[in-house]
Structure 1
């Protein structure tokens, strides 16, 4: 499912770093943030392992069905939890995309692991459209607003005392989700 080895290793590093940061976010005092961080850590590490270049390691045949089971369970959990929050629908789509990619790898492990598999073009296109829109919206949310920047400069001493811990900062969580969305796009492009 991977392109050139250098871009594959960059994707592995991005996804592993994102997964590690999400593990740190699990120490948050906010329970909803902890739960979301756990789901995102699973996704980050799963994507990192899936992105390992085929020239470095060819996994045994049982790995892809195991991926489908693990991320199928994550999708069911996200579906159950989605009753309480819209963000969990994104976790559902992400987990379903991982199941889809694992199924493609199971059906065509050698072709899929090298430079493109036999995915369903309509489903792949739909996932690409979703993650493209998600990345664009997530990136726009990270842009600072002009009014907020001016007011932050005036009250920086007060803001420094009330600043959340670095693991609880919402902009870092958004950046984490953005990087995983970009990683998912990169992986889907190779199907």
Structure 2
């Protein structure tokens, strides 16, 4: 991605740490949580690789089309899973955003948007609005509810992979990472 190296490396660290935690979540006893964690781990690691500053490593030209195909496959899988419930729609939007960013990098790997006009392209703007709203809603969901005491497990200790507040924090950090990446293309 484009932009200064220091924030780029912070974004790489954030996305890689999120992907690593999602791998831990894959050890959950709940199958749907394991499947979601796998999708989120792939997204986290994919974002980490994509966010490596161009000043540190310039990937060969074939990397971006491969990324587009990989996340196109993820988007098709997410499209298939969306039929089971609208809560999977975010995975579809995230995968489509990764395809879009890879396509932009394929078209112009060093200069960002090469659309010739001024301003933000419509699709980038739409994705920025979506991920901004997602981050705000996800942030509010992390706030403790008024009057709630104790954990939802009612006294039983939850494993690291089964902690819902950590899963929500993981999704929030990936949403923030996606916003940062969209701002740099």
TM-score calculated relative to the size of structure 1: 0.89
- The answer to whether the 8 Å contact 2:2/2:110 transfers is no
Deviates more, 1:108-117 or 1:162-171: 108-117
Match of 2:176, SS? helix
- The answer to whether the 8 Å contact 1:71/1:96 transfers is yes
- The answer to whether the 8 Å contact 2:65/2:106 transfers is yes
Instruction: Give the C-alpha shift of residue 120 in structure 1.
Output: 6.6
Runs of 4+ in structure 1 over 3 Å off: 113-120, 149-155
CA distance in 1, matches of 2:153, 2:158: 17
Instruction: Give the C-alpha shift of residue 163 in structure 1.
Output: 2.8
1:1-191 pair list within 5 angstroms:
1-112=1-112, 121-149=121-149, 162-191=156-185
CA distance in 2, matches of 1:98, 1:145: 33
TM-score calculated relative to the size of structure 2: 0.92
Instruction: Give the C-alpha shift of residue 108 in structure 1.
Output: 0.3
Size of the aligned set, in residue pairs, is 185
Shift of the 117–40 alpha-carbon distance from structure 1 to 2, 3 Å rule, reads: farther
Instruction: Give the C-alpha shift of residue 87 in structure 1.
Output: 2.1
Shift of the 187–149 alpha-carbon distance from structure 1 to 2, 3 Å rule, reads: same
- The answer to whether the 8 Å contact 1:15/1:183 transfers is yes
- The answer to whether the 8 Å contact 2:64/2:105 transfers is yes
Shift of the 119–70 alpha-carbon distance from structure 1 to 2, 3 Å rule, reads: farther
Deviates more, 1:146-155 or 1:5-14: 146-155
- The answer to whether the 8 Å contact 1:78/1:88 transfers is yes
Task: Report Cα offsets for 1:39-61 as digits up to 9, x if no partner.
Answer: 00000000000000000000000
Task: Report Cα offsets for 1:1-26 as digits up to 9, x if no partner.
Answer: 32110000000000000000001100
- Unaligned runs of 5+ residues in structure 1 are 156-161
- The answer to whether the 8 Å contact 1:16/1:48 transfers is yes
- Unaligned runs of 5+ residues in structure 2 are none
Task: Report Cα offsets for 1:128-173 as digits up to 9, x if no partner.
Answer: 0000000000000000012113798997xxxxxx132121011110
Q: Which has the higher helix share?
A: 1
Shift of the 151–39 alpha-carbon distance from structure 1 to 2, 3 Å rule, reads: closer
CA distance in 1, matches of 2:4, 2:42: 25
CA distance in 1, matches of 2:142, 2:117: 34
Instruction: Give the C-alpha shift of residue 86 in structure 1.
Output: 1.9
CA distance in 1, matches of 2:18, 2:113: 23
